[in-house]
Amino acid sequence: MTPFVSALLGALIILAFIGLRTRYASFVAQSPADYSGQGPAFDLRRHLSGPIQCEGVIFGPTGRVASRFVASMEGKWDGNTGTLTEVFHYDSGTVQHRAWTLALGEAGRITATAPDVVGEGDGRAEGPGVLLRYRIKLTPEAGGHVLDVTDWMYLMENGTIMNRSQFRKFGFKVAELVATMRPAPPQAMAMTPILSAAE
- The pLDDT value recorded for residue 191 is 47
What phi and psi, each to the nearest 5 degrees, are found at residue 19? Answer: -60, -45
Burial class of 83 by CB neighbour count within 10 A (0 to 12, 13 to 18, 19+): middle
CA end-to-end distance (rounded Å), the chain = 65
Averaged pLDDT score across all residues of the chain:
85
pLDDT at 20 over 60: no
Query: Which of 28-32, 133-137, 160-164, 188-192 is predicted least confidently?
Result: 188-192
- The pLDDT value recorded for residue 99 is 97
Q: What is the DSSP string of 104-129?
A: E-GGGEEEEE-TTEEEEEEEEEETTE
Query: Which of 12-26, 60-74, 95-109 is predicted least confidently?
Result: 12-26
The mean per-residue pLDDT over the stretch 70-81 comes to 97
Name the pTM for this structure: 0.79
The ranges assigned to domains in the chain are: 1-30, 32-197
The architecture (CATH level 2) of 32-197 comes to: Beta Barrel (2.40)
Q: Which of 28-42, 111-125, 179-193 has the highest mean pLDDT?
A: 111-125
The mean per-residue pLDDT over the stretch 164-192 comes to 85
95-104 vs 109-113, strand pairing mode: antiparallel
Check residue 127 and give left, alpha or beta (phi > 0: left; psi -120 to 50: alpha).
left
List the beta bridge partners of residue 153.
130, 163
pLDDT at 175 over 50: yes
Q: How far apart are CA 14 and CA 5, in angstroms?
A: 14
What phi and psi, each to the nearest 5 degrees, are found at residue 49? Answer: -130, 140
* pLDDT band, residue 186 (cuts 50/70/90): confident
What is the SS3 assignment for 38? coil
Find the DSSP H helices in 25-112. 44-47
The mean per-residue pLDDT over the stretch 46-56 comes to 96
What phi and psi, each to the nearest 5 degrees, are found at residue 171? Answer: 85, -10
How many C-beta neighbours within 10 Å does residue 88 have?
17
The mean per-residue pLDDT over the stretch 115-119 comes to 95
What is the SS3 assignment for 67? strand
- Letter for the amino acid at 64? R
